[in-house]
Structure formats: structure tokens, C-alpha cells
Structure 1
Amino acid sequence: MWKDFSAGFIKKNKASSISIVTAAFISALFLSLICSLFYNFWIYEIEQITIDEGSWQGRISGIDESDLSIIKNFSNVEKAEINNTLSTEKTIVADVWFQNIRTVYKDMPLITEKLNLDSTAASYHELLLSRYMVHNPQDNSPPLLMAFFIALLLVVSVSLILIIHNSFAVSMYARLHQFGILSSIGATPGQIFTCLLQEAAMLCILPILTGSLLGIAGSALTIKIINFFAQEIAGRHNAVFQYHPVVFMATIFVSVLTVFISACLPAKKLIKLTPLQALQGTDELHLKKKKHSCLLCRIFGIEGELAANALKAQSKALRTSHLSLTLSFLSFTIMLCFFTLADISTNYTYFERYQDAWDIMVTLKNTDISEFRQGEELRNLPNVRNSLVYQKAIAECSIPETEISDELIHLGGPEAVTDNSINTEKCSYSVKAPIIIIDDKSFEEYCRQLNIVPRLDGSIVLNRIWDSLNSNFRYKKYIPFVKNRQRTITLQNIENTELSADIPVLAYTQDPVTLREEYEDYTLVQFIPLSLWKQVSGVLGHAEPETYIRILGAEEAALSELNELQNEILQTLSPKDNISIENRIQEKISDATMKKGMILIFGALCVLLAAIGLANIFSNTLGFLRQRKREFIRYASIGMSPKSMKKMFAIEVLVIAGRPLAITAPLTIITVGFMITASYLDPMEFLKKAPFIPVLIFFLFVFALVGLAYYIGGSKLLKSDLIDILRNDTMI
């Protein structure tokens, strides 16, 4: 039966076979690509966590050196080492690795109990363990990584089932008459069902294997592309493509299951038909209730009316295409608009705002500014225009109501413009007072910029507050916070307000020191010299552990010049692990490269989503010869010319490709309008950089492929001898 029935049909009906083969190939390709990329992203994240935080799985603190041997001899412990970074003379910390990582949460309490330690002595590398799918049993929130992948795989599989199902349905329902004949001579539904599955297996085995292998190659290429775009990002290690046999087996299993379900759905419906129903049935597309299409009829005439009815008859078969193309259009346009807005916002709030504030930033971790001794050497380096060393601290101050500025009182006082960050006390306001501690020489230069006599015994107050009533966060307007008459300000310890220091006020200003800093809106920022901080630090405290060095290079320095200066700075500082350095131009290049890479990845996903819809359209048009032959014979019998038939196809192409754009355009306009409003950007700034060209190219790409699919299907239909086809014994 297989040889005479299915094998013969495959040989004589290559269009239907190609449709099924193409759908199975695309299915396997997508599934293989998704599984392979997920596996590589998973491995990469584990590697990045290991580089940043170490590969330890458990950590025990408060042990003695003699306890290390006990830990090593414990069952399931692979190795244990003393962590010299965290260990002190009083406390020894040990990192532990296990042979079976899944029993970490059971073994660690047993080890601490064996060492007579409290359970709090044990800690876990929860981020790393979660990537290995090892979940803390006491944590009620389930791990989401695998659940996300399974959900993604399920969504993709269902989408692909719809595509392949349509291909099988077109092929199977085209043979209703044959099935009726077979049933009438004694073939059972089970035999027909088995024969159809054999046919599906014969057609899909090779495409599944080929698609899976090409998916692996596509994943490797994607990793290379990501590495290329992200090579300039600091602190990132290159991803190395990896693969595992289990991933291949999982891909093949899901692909086979997808094809099997796709073939079963139409086959089960088909074998439920009685022989008489099968003999009487036809594969012609029918429209139960014809409707008059005013728009297409008015624009294109009778061809538009006929095309509208044909599209309605195919609505079920093209449902996947409409959904996939609409989602791909919407995702692509909104993604490009989002990145355009993000680029405008980043340039405005970061690169353009601070382009004259810094060229190179050095962060000295766990370093107090008073310990830094190389400031003068940095200033004397060639091509260094300016160098400033600073550290940040936090304090509070009390402002009497009588000292609030007239402008702020006119707005209703601090309560009217703030977000409840200012506490009201008896006849005064308790305000945060961030402290910027500046090296003495830079502070004296700042005094000269403000035209005041340089002194190192007082503070310069940034006297401004954001007028949130008359401006937005994008274009902030500032007004004076206090009156410029207090000669002394009292700074208080934020934890113990009884500890305070009276600081002379050298000046009030609304022009801060030129730094790459974003100051809080409702605070009184204090700029004080290092000499003064040494006197009051014992009382105020709360300095951040990092010291920063802001360096300005030569005017309009190029990237190569800043890179050279950066190397000189590193040599001067004798860098250790506690130093990080940033280059403004390199930072901007890295930011642009990272955005391009993200656009490429998300754009590729949108193209894949569009490919699902396009594959469904190609699958549908390859069945034109069987699906629409009677329809066009009727048109020919009433005198419709081939030119009019071609016009019908052109109208269908325009509607199929244009409908997603028509749906997407208003949704995109509404979404982008909301984003522009929420970010308080000038709409004209967006329109100048709006991604019209990429969206147009994407639309033309889809339009061309839809047109190609209709050209292939329509050409075969119009070139065929339709009368001979009707005389074929497979039809009534």
C-alpha cells in the first residue's frame, strides 16, 4: 500500500511534498537554533559568574586551619580551600566545592554541625547554584530560567505546528477522492492513518536532520557575531561556542514530536470521514457567506471584490501568517523606536551632558582619599589638562524656615516641590547634605572659578532645588533653596544627629564642580576640601569606600590619544585589582556597539518570526494548483483574462503584506507617543532620528517574499491546463 499509494503520490505531486519538506526543515532549524543558543547563553552566564564571583559552591566562615582537613574528608566534598581575600587573623573563611552539586543544601548544614558551628556560618553561591538548576528548598520562589525556556520552546513549537499542520492539511485534503476509493475497497481508517504517518516520516526525516545541523551552525555564527559587536565592552569575556549531545537529542525529539502532531491533526480529521463523504468532498476553498468588500471593490474593481472573497476563504489557512507577520512588524518597529529613544536619551543625559566634564575616570575601590598620594604626578602627565580627586560622603543639615528662599516660598515651600524626602521639624527642615570631598588644589581652583578668595577651611554650598512644578526631569529648572546669608552651616551625622560639625560657608552657587555626577534634586550638596574633611570626618563619617579621579585630556583628544593617556595613568597608579578605569570616547563606542548588537539580535528574532509567517504563505501558495483550480476555471469560463487573474493575485499580495503594516502603524504611533510623553522628549528630536528607512526596508523585504510566493504558486496555476486537471481521476 505504501509503495502504490504514498510513494506514487510523492513522486507525482512534488509541490505538496516540497511544502511539507520546507515546513519540516524550518521547524527543525528554528528549534535547533533556539535550543543551541539557550545552551550557549546558559554556559556563558555560568562562566561570567565564575569569573566575577568565583566557582565556589558553599562557603564556611569561622573555622580553624585544622577544620579544613575535616571538610575535605567529608563525603561528597570535591575540594576545599581557604579564601585568603575574606579571611582575617581572627576569622578564617573556606570555599567548598562538591562532587554532586545538587546536594549542596543538604550537605552544608551537616558540615557546619560536624564542625560545631552555627548554621549562619554557612553561605551558598546562590546565583551560580540557580544557574545549575539547584534550588534552595527554603526559598518559596521557584527558579524561572528553565521555566522560561520551556515556555519559549512551547510557544515556538505550537507556532511551527500550525505551519506544518497547514502543509499536511493541504496535501491530505487534496486526496479526499482517493481516500474515498480506498475506503470503498476495504482499506481501514487505521491503515490509511498509518500510511499517512509513513508518508510524513519519509518526507521529514532528512529535513529534520539537515535543519538541526544548520541550526547548530547558525548558533555558532550568532555567537561569533555577538563577540564581534561586544569585543569593545570592558569586563566581558568572549563567548566560546559549545554544544552537547543531549541538546542535539532534545532538538531531534522536539522536532519529531512537532512534525508528528502536525501530521496527526489533519490525518485524524480525514479518517473520520465516511467513504461517501470522501468521494463527494472537494479541496476547493469555499466562502460560506460572501460579503461585499466596498474598499477593495472601489479601488480595484471586480478583481478587488474577488480577491477579498478569496482571502476570506483562506483566512483560516493564513491565520498563522497574519499573526506572525503582524507580531514581527510590531516588534521590529517598536524595537527600533525604543532604541532610537534610548539613544537620544542617553546622549542627552549622559554623553552630551558630561562630554566636557571628563575624559578618563579612575575608580579606586576600598581607598580613602586621604590615602591617595599620586595626585600631583597625574597633573604633571603630558596631555593632562586637568585632574581632580574626590570622594563622596553623606550628612544632614537643619534649615530654619526663615532661611528658605523667596522663590521657593512663592511655590509653596519645600513641601510643594519635593517627593517627601525633606522632613519637617519644629520651624525647620531636615535636609540631606551630600558631601563631595575634593583635593585641596582642585578646591582652590574651584574657588577661583567662583571669584572668591581660595580657602581650605569652609564649604561651598550648591544652593539649588528642582522646580518640579514648572519643569520636568528632562529639562529641569532650578531655583535657590536657601537665602545666601548663612555664614555657617551645621552638618550632622546621619545616624546620630547629636554628632555635628559647624562648617563655615565660603560661598553659595548654582554651578557645581565639573564632575560626572548626578546630584539629588532636594538636597544641599556641600563641596569641601580634603583638609577640612580630615578635621570633621571623625564626627560625620559615612564616606563611601571609593575614591574617584576625574581627568580631562587635551582639547578634542582622539580615541588613540586617550588610550595612550589611559596607559600612562595606569602605569603611574601601579594598578592592582582595586582599580577600574573608563575612557569617555571608548565608553561611547562600546555603548553604540552594544546597541547595534542588541538591535541585530532582536532584529534577527523579528526576521525569524516573519519567516514563520512567510513559510506559511509559501506552504499555502504551493497548494494553489489543487486548492484554487476550480475557482479560476469558473473565472475563465465567464471571460476573465489571465491579466485580470494576475491582478487578483497582486491585490492579495498587497493585502497580505500591507495588513500587518496597517495594524502596526497606529499601534506603534500610540506606543511611541506614550514613550515620548513619559520621557518628556521633544517629538521633533525623535522625528529627526526616527527609523523610517529600516522599517521601510523590512516592509519591502516581506512584500517581496509574499510576492515571490504568489508568483510561484500563481505561475504554476495559470500555466497549467486546468481542463486536463479536472479530468484527472483523482477529482470528481
Structure 2
Amino acid sequence: MKNYKQITYRYLKGQRNRTLLTILGIILSVAMISALGTIIVSARGALIKEAIRDNGSYHAKIEHLQKESLDKVKSHVGVEKVGISKAIGAGVVKETTQGEREDYGVNMPYRYIDLQGYDNEALKMLPFNLKEGRFPIHSDEIAIEYWIADYFDKEVKIGDKINLTLGKRSSIRESQEGEPEETFEKTGEKEYTVVGFIKPNYVWPKELVTKGITGIDQNTPREGGYNAYVQVPDIKNVQEKIESIGKDVGTNPENIDYNNRVLRLYAESVVDTFNKSIIGILIFVVSLIVISTVAVIYNAFNISVLERVSQFGLLRSVGATPKQIRGIVLKEAGILSAIGIPIGLFSGVLAMKIVFYIIGLLKSDIRLINDMEITISATVFLISTFVGLITVFLSAIGPARKAGKVSPLEAVRNTGDLKKENLKNVRSFPFIRKILGVEGEIAHKNLRRNRKRFIITVFSMVISIALFITFSTFSDFMFKIGAVGGEETGDFSVAGYMKGNEDEIYSKLKNMEEVKRVYKMITLSGSALLEDNQINKKIKEINPHNFTEKKGDRTKVPNVDIYTIGDDNLEVLKGVLNKGSIDKDLLNKEKGVLVINNTYSYKENSNAQVLLEGYHVKVGDKIPFASYNAEGEEVDYQDLTVVGVLEKGILDREYNYNASLAIITTEEVFEQIVKDASLGEQQDQYVNMNIELSGKGNRENVTTYLNELGNTMPGFNFTDYLEHAKEARTMTIIMSIFLYGFVTLIALISAINIINTISTNIILRTKEIAMIKAVGMTQGGIKRMVAFESLFYGLYATLIGGTLGVGLSYILFRLVIGISEFQYKLPWENVVIACVGAAIIALLSGIYPLKRINNKIIVESMKEDF
């Protein structure tokens, strides 16, 4: 042997299982850091592209500039690019009908195109989606929303010329009948050539004011103000820079509108709380990942090194110096790092490629996903490698230094640092032996006889439990703040006074091949009487003015909404049912309702929105409810029985947004409430129907039918949300894959951490277990002893890890509410899953090591040295 370090290779080869476990821990830990870094870099680039596509690439918009000020902005040294827009005025399309004026809720005389002029640079910066044709260049060219072309006297096509009467819409005033009325002041007429059609995000044919684009040239009227869309060369501290530019050109900060969505992705949001929250969350998550990396590698490596103190002592006795001993251990760390870290880096990127492959199977048309490409970042690789190396060597250097300090005589006399103590020196607990037998007593003594082994093992399980609780709770938070998916509306939204035809329309739509589901929503507003213990103190603090009125010993809660969704759709609510049941017959029999206790509320003197469990209504409670009549006055209270409690509602009615209860019931109960309240003809009800398509047939059949209804029924209108709905659903699926995939990875690493620690402990105690078998303990007794020992570890780890996990989840909650506020709840479900899972994994961890020990002859096991 040329030098002592050659022993390292022999040891690693001889202890393959232990070596593989350690390498696996390094691989998983480095892979998690590199995967997270890769997805952050990749997603950030794609999200910026998406935000620019939706909101534009400008950094700020400076409004109401005169020509002189505009020229100063163009020539300002701090400005990189400037796009110009100018309000041209309102162009008349045609007179509105009485039905259209009723729908819009204001007496508007005309259907308008709101004309804005843009130069070429502004059109590049702004998120206009061209359906057909091109953007206008000159002031006599125009691009309009494609659907408005049908409302001209003659259908308009690309290349046609249209004459528009231009003017100014006046402020709304009272008409002779006391209704709000708008007037139009004509300023001129102009002929435009239609050169393009714009495609908006969604289409509502009843919208009376739509967008139109013209070019800006020398013929554009000079009077009136301009808007400047500004990009700065360096986005750092963008608010200060834009305000400085505004000050230099003589405009007020109130005239500056920031492109906040884009700036947020650069961590330069004008809202300082948002920036701090995002940065805080990122630091918190990465710190936990680093801690988990340290835990996995340290436990796998440290136990292995500590168990070999006697071997190092033997080397000391034949002349090895402390420096040489440290060199052996550090070389082992270097070899394991050289193998594990490159594989970990590759595995992290590969994992992300697999995730994107799975997402690709969804065949999504979402541009965000199509934009996202795996970006291999040198910075991410360097950070991942650095963290891995530092962690491995920090894990090795402590035990290596200790091994070098042990005297040869003491090291040879003892069989290892973890085996110094004697079972006789550990205090006995008679009740443990009485309940669990001699195996349980020995297992409990094994935990207590060596503090270092106990701390290392429990620490490993504590970290695993705490990490799972924290990251699974983080996923729950993302759903709560709306970071996953968006507001669901269905593919079409239908609304209006349907003159008693709602059942016929509902039936017709429901039976169409193209339609999967129709939600028929009819709403009644009123107030409820609740006991004080049914109202959360937090919501009283936020909205004290809502709970000042008493009726007997109950408090009146205003703005309660009770609505139907169509009896055929009640089954959809089973996925959000917390307690009780969803039984149509029971609801009808009991005059029953389903209650949503969670609600949104706005803080007084603030725009901050809070989601919280505002109420504590339970199954079986009676709720006195009084609806409002046409004059807004309450009618008589009638008792409703709570049959079920829901976590939230569906579609865009997940919660009541007025700090109050939301209640869902059947159509029969709803009609009974209306009848008992004697509301009469007030309930020529305003009906909402949300239509979800099946993906079969031709969607144009649905559009044609809805258009026909709109032409024959003045109070009827619909909005086409098809593209928006498809994107929202697919984004929900994709973000769920990322979040749950991340939680799964955390669970896997946590499991490996526990398996590594528990199984290594058992393998390293081969001689001890063999001696116990030699003095008469059966194979079954050995298994019970190891099982009890694992359960004891699990009990201690559950108490500490559960508490730590809850604490970490609360810290994360404090960071997340800087983005969107909601009420904190203890994550009991995640705690139970983590603790039970950790105990089961700990039990299973002993199966393979025990099998390996049992396959050996007792004498051979007693001779084996680790």
C-alpha cells in the first residue's frame, strides 16, 4: 500500500450499500437545488414574455403630455424607447336600441368605437392581438375589434372604407325621467380605411364601447394631450428613474402609470410589500432546500464516519498521523462528491425535461407554456455544485477531526463511538416492559444509551417531517392566493332577464351535443341572523360596521347571497364539501342549504383583500334568513337548515366578496324562499348561466343559438370566454403538476433521508444484534425490537418535527400574505400525513438490513467490524 488514502477505495467498494445510499442522498439533494434553479430561470423568462404579451413591454406610461413635454421625453438621456398614443375621440357606429340601453344600465344614445392613435413604437410595446390584416400606419387607417364589424349598416371587411362621426361623450346626467343619460357632442366626421381586425381576450357583443386603433402622422390633430410609453435602459430602481424623468419634463407623479405585472417579474414592483414578499419567499424556500441538503448528506455521511472511529484508531496505532486520518475521510468525501454532484446536476435538468414532456402531452395552446424552454444556467450549476461540496465537506470534517484526535489505545479498545455505553447504565421504565415486553424495553434503552446516535437519527426524521409539512402547506397557500389557475367562468357566460324562458333556454343548452354542463344561477340577497359564536372575531374587527344591529339575542349579518346552480350540478360540489352531505331530497325536505363560511373582505381604509373563515356555521344549525325586496327592505325571516358546509363555491362564485355568507340551495327550496317572502314579480329573475363546452361538435352552433336569443330577447346578453377558460383550466393543471411534483420530490428526499439514517443504524449494529440473537432472542423478537425502536424515534420526531413544521409554515404564511392576505389555519392534514408517513417509512427501513443480518451465521456477524 503506497499510502493510507488507498484504504478509501477499498472501504467504498466493500460497503457498497452504504456508499450507494450516501451517493443517492447527494444526487437527490443537488438535483433538487438544480431543478428548482432551472425551473425558476426557465419560468421567469417565459412569464416575462407572457406578461409583455398581455400587458405590453413598456415600463411606465406618462399621461396628459403636451407636445413640448413629449419632445422632452423623447430626447431624455434616461429613456431608451418611447411610444406615443393620443386620444382621437369616440366614433359612432350606430344608434343603440332601448334593450341595449337597459342592458348597459345607462341611457347611451350610440354604440361607439373609442379611437386611439398610436405610432409604430407604441404598437410594438402594447399587447394588441391582431386577428386579421395589419396595424394602421396613417391617421386615415383603422383597426377595429372583429365582432363590431357586424354592427355597421353593412358588414365591414378588410379594405372597406367607413365613415365615422367623431365627437366627445359627455358626462352622465339625469334625464327627465330621472334616469342617468349620456349625450354626444359632435366634432367632425372622418373616413377611415379598415386595415385590420383586433381580437380581444373575450367578446361581449352587448358591449357598447369598443376599441379602435388609428395611426399617428402629420395629419393627426395636434390639440389635446399625448401619452408616452417609456422604456428605460436599466430596470433597477425603475420607479425612481421614471419619477425623475417625469419631474424633468414637468409632469406630476399622479400622471405616471406603471406596468406593474412586468415590473413584478423583474422584482421591481412599485408595491414595495410585494417585492419584499417575493424575495422573502424565494430566500425562505431556497434556505429550506439547503437545510434539507445538509440534513440528507450529513446524516448519511456522519453516521458512517463515526462508526469507523475504531478503524481509524487501528491506523493510528500503526503510525498514521491525525493529518493522514483526516485525509482519508476528506478523500472519501471528494470521491462521493465527484460521483454524486454531476449526476445530481444532470438529474435536476432531466427531471424538468420530464415534467415539460408531461405538460406537452396536454397539447396546450397556451403561449406561456409554449414559450417556456429549459434554460441551463451556469449560475444555477455553480450554486448547486458549491452547496453540495460545502455540505459534504462540512459533514466530513467534524468526524474526521475527531477521528484524528482519538488515541490509538482507546480507539482499539472500543468498537466505535456509537457503542461505548452499556444497557445496564440506562434507566429502566417497568411500565414499558409490561406493555411492550422485553423487546420494547431494549428498544427504548437503545434510544437512550447513546445521545449522539439518538440526536442524529431524530434530527434526520425531524427535518424530513418539517420539510414535508412546510412545502405541502406552501402548495396550499399558492392555491389560496390564486397563483394557481384563474377565475373560472365557463366557456360562455349568459345573463339577463329572460321573461320566464330560463327553463326552456336551460333545457335547450343542456341538450346540445356541444355542451357538457350548464350552471343556472339565480341569486337572492338578504340578511341572516347568527349567534355571536357563529361569527369570527377577526371579521368583526375588519368590518365592525357590518355587525352593529341586533335582533333579539342574534346579530344581523347583511349582504348574504343565496343562489342556485341548477340541481343537475349539485354533484360538482362534492369535491368542495367539508362536512355534511349533498342530498337533493334532504335539501328539499328540510328547506336545507349548503353554506360557505369562508369569505373575502376588504380592510377598512385599505384596498387589501383578506380571505378568511368569517363564520362558524355548522351542519344542523338553523339560519333565519330574510331577503331584500325591490326597495332594499327586509321581508320576514324564515328558517333555513344547514345540511352541508362547503370549502368554497364554484366558477366565479367561490366566495361571498362582501364579508358575508354565501349559500347554495336547490331550485325547489329557492322557489319556496321566494314564495314565502311574497316577492312576487320581483323575481322576473335576473338569471346567469355559465356554459361549459364538451369539446364535441361545433361550438359555432352554441354561438349561433345565443346570438339568436340576443336578437329576440332585449334583456339577454352573453360573453364568449372560450379562449380565456381554456387557458385558465390548462394553467391550473400545469401549476398543479409543478407544485405537487415539487412536494413529491420533497417527500422522496425526506423518505430517503429516513431510510438512510435508520437502515445505516441497523447495519452498523450487526455485531450487537448478532450478540442479542446469540443469547436467545428469536428472529421475531429482533424484528419487534427494531420496530419498537423505529416507532420510538418516530414518536419523538413527530412531536418535534410537527411543531417545527407548523412554525415554519406560519413564517411562510407571513411572507405570502404580502401578496394576498388570508387567514392562517394550522395545517393539521399535512402534519398527520407527514408524521404517519415518517413512522411507516421508519418501520419499513429496517426490513432489508435485518434480512441481510439474518442471512448470515451468528458467529460471522459477531466477527464483522464496521
Name the TM-score class by shorter chain: 0.5 to 0.7
Change (3 A) 1:665 1:477: farther
> What is the alpha-carbon distance in structure 2 between the residues aligned to residue 309 and residue 59 of structure 1?
72
Change (3 A) 1:702 1:238: farther
Change (3 A) 1:291 1:601: farther
Residue identity opposite 1:99 in structure 2: P
Q: Can you list the C-alpha shifts for 1:604-625, whole angstroms capped at 9, x where unaligned?
A: 4444343333223332355357
2:771 corresponds to which of 634, 642, 660: 634
| Residue pair 2:82, 2:230 contacting (<8 A) in 1 also | yes
Q: Can you list the C-alpha shifts for 1:430-450, whole angstroms capped at 9, x where unaligned?
A: x9999xxxxxxxxxxxxxxxx
- Which position in structure 2 is the counterpart of 1:713? 849
- Which position in structure 2 is the counterpart of 1:457? none
> What is the alpha-carbon distance in structure 2 between the residues aligned to residue 331 and residue 63 of structure 1?
50
- Which position in structure 1 is the counterpart of 2:645? none
> What is the alpha-carbon distance in structure 2 between the residues aligned to residue 190 and residue 472 of structure 1?
69
- Which position in structure 2 is the counterpart of 1:262? 395
1:282 and 2:415 are equivalent in the alignment: yes
| Residue pair 2:471, 2:743 contacting (<8 A) in 1 also | yes
1:178 corresponds to which of 294, 299, 311: 311
Q: Which has the higher helix share?
A: 1
1:251 and 2:384 are equivalent in the alignment: yes
1:316 and 2:481 are equivalent in the alignment: no
State the 1:200 CA deviation: 0.5
- Which position in structure 1 is the counterpart of 2:33? 31
> What is the alpha-carbon distance in structure 1 between the residues aligned to residue 727 and residue 274 of structure 2?
36
| Residue pair 1:162, 1:262 contacting (<8 A) in 2 also | no
| Residue pair 1:58, 1:96 contacting (<8 A) in 2 also | yes
Residue identity opposite 2:456 in structure 1: A
State the 1:155 CA deviation: 1.8
Change (3 A) 1:381 1:170: closer
- Which position in structure 2 is the counterpart of 1:124? 258
> What is the alpha-carbon distance in structure 1 between the residues aligned to residue 636 and residue 356 of structure 2?
52
Change (3 A) 1:595 1:652: farther
Change (3 A) 1:719 1:128: same
Q: Can you list the C-alpha shifts for 1:199-255, whole angstroms capped at 9, x where unaligned?
A: 1111122211112211122223335556778969x9976662432332222222222
Identity fraction in percent:
20
- Which position in structure 1 is the counterpart of 2:226? 92
Change (3 A) 1:701 1:626: closer
| Residue pair 2:466, 2:804 contacting (<8 A) in 1 also | no
- Which position in structure 1 is the counterpart of 2:292? 159
Change (3 A) 1:717 1:560: same
State the 1:267 CA deviation: 2.6
State the 1:96 CA deviation: 1.4
Q: Which has the higher strand share?
A: 2
| Residue pair 2:28, 2:344 contacting (<8 A) in 1 also | yes
Residue identity opposite 1:157 in structure 2: V
- Which position in structure 1 is the counterpart of 2:21? 19
> What is the alpha-carbon distance in structure 1 between the residues aligned to residue 659 and residue 253 of structure 2?
44
Deviates further, 19-28 or 290-299: 290-299
| Residue pair 2:442, 2:785 contacting (<8 A) in 1 also | yes
Task: Please show how residues 656-671 of structure 1 align to structure 2 within 5 Å.
Answer: none
> What is the alpha-carbon distance in structure 2 between the residues aligned to residue 49 and residue 337 of structure 1?
24
| Residue pair 1:33, 1:215 contacting (<8 A) in 2 also | yes
1:145 and 2:278 are equivalent in the alignment: yes
- Which position in structure 1 is the counterpart of 2:573? none
- Which position in structure 1 is the counterpart of 2:545? 420
Residue identity opposite 1:90 in structure 2: G
> What is the alpha-carbon distance in structure 1 between the residues aligned to residue 370 and residue 25 of structure 2?
35
State the 1:146 CA deviation: 2.8
Residue identity opposite 1:477 in structure 2: P
TM-score w.r.t. the length of structure 2 is 0.53
Q: Can you list the C-alpha shifts for 1:361-395, whole angstroms capped at 9, x where unaligned?
A: 259xxxxx9xx9xxx9xx999946999xx9x9x9x
State the 1:81 CA deviation: 0.9
Residue identity opposite 2:441 in structure 1: E
Q: Can you list the C-alpha shifts for 1:178-199, whole angstroms capped at 9, x where unaligned?
A: 3224444554433432332221
Residue identity opposite 1:240 in structure 2: M
- Which position in structure 2 is the counterpart of 1:616? 753
- Which position in structure 2 is the counterpart of 1:568? 704
1:54 and 2:188 are equivalent in the alignment: no
For the residue of structure 2 that corresponds to 1:95, the secondary structure is: strand
Residue identity opposite 1:124 in structure 2: Y
> What is the alpha-carbon distance in structure 2 between the residues aligned to residue 329 and residue 610 of structure 1?
6
Change (3 A) 1:722 1:593: farther
Deviates further, 61-70 or 124-133: 61-70
State the 1:41 CA deviation: 4.1
| Residue pair 1:321, 1:616 contacting (<8 A) in 2 also | yes
| Residue pair 1:329, 1:661 contacting (<8 A) in 2 also | no
Q: Unaligned stretches of 5+ in structure 2?
A: 88-114, 118-222, 482-486, 512-517, 533-539, 550-556, 561-596, 598-613, 639-650, 662-684, 712-716, 806-827
> What is the alpha-carbon distance in structure 2 between the residues aligned to residue 340 and residue 132 of structure 1?
23
Number of residues of Structure 1 aligned to a counterpart in Structure 2: 574
Change (3 A) 1:267 1:126: farther
Task: Please show how residues 292-691 of structure 1 align to structure 2 within 5 Å.
Answer: 292=428, 297-298=433-434, 300-312=436-448, 313=450, 314-324=453-463, 326-327=465-466, 360-361=492-493, 383=508, 420-421=545-546, 476-479=623-626, 552=689, 560=696, 563-564=699-700, 566-568=702-704, 580-582=719-721, 603-624=740-761, 627-652=764-789
> What is the alpha-carbon distance in structure 1 between the residues aligned to residue 559 and residue 781 of structure 2?
79
State the 1:626 CA deviation: 5.9
| Residue pair 2:787, 2:843 contacting (<8 A) in 1 also | yes
- Which position in structure 2 is the counterpart of 1:102? 236
| Residue pair 1:304, 1:648 contacting (<8 A) in 2 also | yes
Change (3 A) 1:171 1:55: same
> What is the alpha-carbon distance in structure 2 between the residues aligned to residue 110 and residue 188 of structure 1?
67
Change (3 A) 1:581 1:630: same
| Residue pair 2:43, 2:372 contacting (<8 A) in 1 also | no
| Residue pair 2:27, 2:340 contacting (<8 A) in 1 also | yes
| Residue pair 1:80, 1:96 contacting (<8 A) in 2 also | yes
Change (3 A) 1:147 1:260: farther
> What is the alpha-carbon distance in structure 2 between the residues aligned to residue 59 and residue 73 of structure 1?
16
| Residue pair 1:361, 1:583 contacting (<8 A) in 2 also | no
Change (3 A) 1:69 1:294: farther
Change (3 A) 1:221 1:270: same
For the residue of structure 1 that corresponds to 2:398, the secondary structure is: helix
> What is the alpha-carbon distance in structure 1 between the residues aligned to residue 289 and residue 71 of structure 2?
51
- Which position in structure 2 is the counterpart of 1:242? 374
2:326 corresponds to which of 193, 214, 220: 193
Q: Can you list the C-alpha shifts for 1:331-352, whole angstroms capped at 9, x where unaligned?
A: 799899999999xxxxxxx99x
| Residue pair 2:443, 2:785 contacting (<8 A) in 1 also | yes
Change (3 A) 1:470 1:266: closer
1:273 and 2:412 are equivalent in the alignment: no
| Residue pair 1:332, 1:603 contacting (<8 A) in 2 also | no
> What is the alpha-carbon distance in structure 1 between the residues aligned to residue 430 and residue 729 of structure 2?
48
Q: Can you list the C-alpha shifts for 1:559-617, whole angstroms capped at 9, x where unaligned?
A: 7589555533787789xxx9953589x97x99998777776655544443433332233
Residue identity opposite 2:852 in structure 1: K
Residue identity opposite 1:320 in structure 2: F
Residue identity opposite 1:614 in structure 2: A
Residue identity opposite 1:190 in structure 2: K
TM-score w.r.t. the length of structure 1 is 0.61
| Residue pair 2:263, 2:269 contacting (<8 A) in 1 also | yes
- Which position in structure 2 is the counterpart of 1:207? 340
> What is the alpha-carbon distance in structure 2 between the residues aligned to residue 4 and residue 559 of structure 1?
67
- Which position in structure 2 is the counterpart of 1:497? none
Change (3 A) 1:230 1:331: farther
Change (3 A) 1:649 1:92: same
Q: Can you list the C-alpha shifts for 1:494-522, whole angstroms capped at 9, x where unaligned?
A: xxxxxxxxxxx9x98999xxx99869699
State the 1:132 CA deviation: 1.4
